[in-house]
Amino acid sequence: MSNRLQLFRKRMSAFEGTVDPLRAIESGYYVHAPGKLLAETISTRIALRPASSHLLVGGIGSGKTTQLLVACQNIKEVGDIYPIYIDISLYTDISKMKTGVLTAIAGVEISKLIKNNKNQDVNSSIDLIKKIAFGESEEITKEVSFFTQKETKKIKTEGIIPIKTAYGVGGDLVQALKQVAQAASPQYGRIVIFFDGLDRLDNPQIFAQILESDVKAISIANIGLVLIGSLTSLYSNYSDTLENYLDYFYYQPCFDVENDPEAYMFFEKILKTRSEENFIEEDAIDLLIKYSGGVLRDLISLTQASIEETYLSGDDRLQEKHVLTAVNSFGKAQLLGITDEELEILRRTFETKKFVPVKNQNVKLLVTRRILEYRYPKTRYVVHPAIQPIIEQIYA
């Protein structure tokens, strides 16, 4: 393989948006965000109140998982608190999530810590959790004729993952969870569970029910809890629930790279940490930051695409023209599937700078990152900068 291809593949691999955030942290690519980090706030609060509950809400690609993983790492360093990180989507089918599932998963994970426990009551609780979580099979023998012929049938009871019809969390499951958490505490200390992936649950009603039931159940068992939620839940009719059932609520808006110098410097530092000196020209860095819209994943993705354009062009350094080519493709792609009505909302928002995230259609534009929300220093909404030139072309 040529040195040039090898070099460019290496450059691109530093900007891999789909890679597990844990790998990015381990590769030394993690850069502290400006101001007080959400991860630090969460971990400091958990250190003081291990059984507290936290909800972190933010848009796609805003860095929520990274914050969760950093908070988890911070907690490990505390010593007497044991963090468990769970990506729910790897555990169960999120589209079938219902109340009770989180509690059952918490029970299953803590049970794994104490599988060699000899206490009969604790083992009964572990069995109960497994039964509720995964169901059970039992053989039932019954007489099928007058002449005492017997037939054995295997009866399978469905487990709670995915739960079928129940609403709420059964008292027996809560008690069992409490018992296994207590049994684990001498060796592991206080347990805190970090549930990732719930931001992909797009049904705000189910999400609200989970907060109402599972958060309460897990808290009763004296277990700390950190959840990630989606923007949809923040702008739904159930948004009040978000703050009512948890001790702490955090929102991660987009970074306002246009108005907040610290946010701009943060993005600049990300680019410089991941690329070799002088490979990306200063003007190109400025454009990458501008067109990312302050969305971390878009910064990473646009930079990688710009490196690809640089490779194909035969140039050695990433220049403005490469960024503009990548931005053009990105902007066009983001408008795929958009309806005429949504396009009109984008045009109106672009021209008037006014947007109200109330109707479902408007919230969808936020969730899909076509419209971005900033809160520095006050709330404002803009059409994603990479889409703006396309909107201008369409309505010219």
Partner 1 sequence: MLKSISIDEFLQRIGSQPNGNVWSVLVVSYSDSDELVEELKDTISIFTECDVGVIYTKNEVSITVDKIQKYSEDYLIIWNFEDWSDRNWRTFDQMRSRLAKKRGVVLVLSQKSVKYMFTYAPNIVSWIGSRVYTLAKDTELLTKEERQRKLLTLHEWSGLSDREIIELAELRQLPPDPEYGEWLVLLGREDLIGR
Binding site for partner 1 (CB under 8 A): 1-2, 5, 8-10, 12-13, 16-20, 60-61, 87, 89-90, 93-95, 197, 200-202, 297-298, 301-302, 304-305, 308, 311-312, 314, 326-330, 332-338, 367-369
* Least Å from the CB of residue 386 to partner 1: 9
**Strands of 81-87's sheet in order across:** 81-87, 190-196, 224-229, 53-58, 248-252
* Least Å from the CB of residue 32 to partner 1: 23
Q: Which is nearer to partner 1, 71 or 94 (CB)?
A: 94
* Side chain identity, residue 65: T
Q: Which is nearer to partner 1, 24 or 242 (CB)?
A: 24
* Least Å from the CB of residue 44 to partner 1: 28
* Least Å from the CB of residue 19 to partner 1: 5
Q: Which is nearer to partner 1, 61 or 253 (CB)?
A: 61
Q: Strand 371-374 and strand 380-383: pairing?
A: antiparallel
Say how far apart CA 325 and CA 389 lie, in whole Å.
12
Say how far apart CA 358 and CA 356 lie, in whole Å.
6
Q: Which is nearer to partner 1, 183 or 366 (CB)?
A: 366
For residue 135, count other CB atoms closer than 10 A to its CB.
Answer: 13
DSSP code of residue 81: E
Burial 83-102 (b: 16+ CB within 10 A, else e): bbbbebbebbebeebbbbbb
* Least Å from the CB of residue 199 to partner 1: 9
Tokens of 233: 């839940």
Q: Which is nearer to partner 1, 183 or 326 (CB)?
A: 326
* Least Å from the CB of residue 332 to partner 1: 5
Q: How many residues does the chain have?
A: 396
Tokens of 116: 């060699």
Q: Which is nearer to partner 1, 266 or 311 (CB)?
A: 311
The dihedrals phi and psi of 336, each to the nearest 5 degrees, come to -65, 135
Please report the sign of the dihedral spanned by the C-alpha atoms of residue 81, residue 84, residue 85, residue 89.
negative
* Least Å from the CB of residue 162 to partner 1: 12
Say how far apart CA 307 and CA 95 lie, in whole Å.
37
Q: Which is nearer to partner 1, 30 or 311 (CB)?
A: 311
Q: Give the 3-state secondary structure of residue 365.
A: helix
Q: Which is nearer to partner 1, 220 or 335 (CB)?
A: 335
* Least Å from the CB of residue 291 to partner 1: 11
Contact predicate 132/177, CB 8 Å: no
Instruction: Single out the residue of 332, 316, 275 nearest to residue 299, CA to CA.
Output: 275
Say how far apart CA 223 and CA 117 lie, in whole Å.
19
111: left (phi > 0), else alpha (psi -120 to 50), else beta?
A: alpha
* Least Å from the CB of residue 89 to partner 1: 5
Contact predicate 330/346, CB 8 Å: no
Q: Which is nearer to partner 1, 197 or 253 (CB)?
A: 197
